[in-house]
Amino acid sequence: MDSDSYNSFFRYQRMLGNYPAKVEVGNFDGHIKYRGDFRTLPKGSGFASFRRMSDAQFKANHSKYTSQGYILVWYLRMVHDGGVDNVATWFK
pLDDT tens for each residue of 63-73: 999 999 999 99
Instruction: Report residue 58's pLDDT band, with 50, 70 and 90 as the boundaries.
Output: very high
Q: What angle do CA 11, 57, 83 make, to 5 degrees?
A: 90
pLDDT tens for each residue of 29-52: 888 899 999 999 999 999 999 999
Q: How far is the C-alpha of 35 from the C-alpha of 1, rounded, in Å?
A: 6
In terms of DSSP H, where are the helices of the chain? 3-15, 55-67
Instruction: Break the chain into its structural domains and give their ranges.
Output: 3-91
Bridge partners of 19, per DSSP, are 39
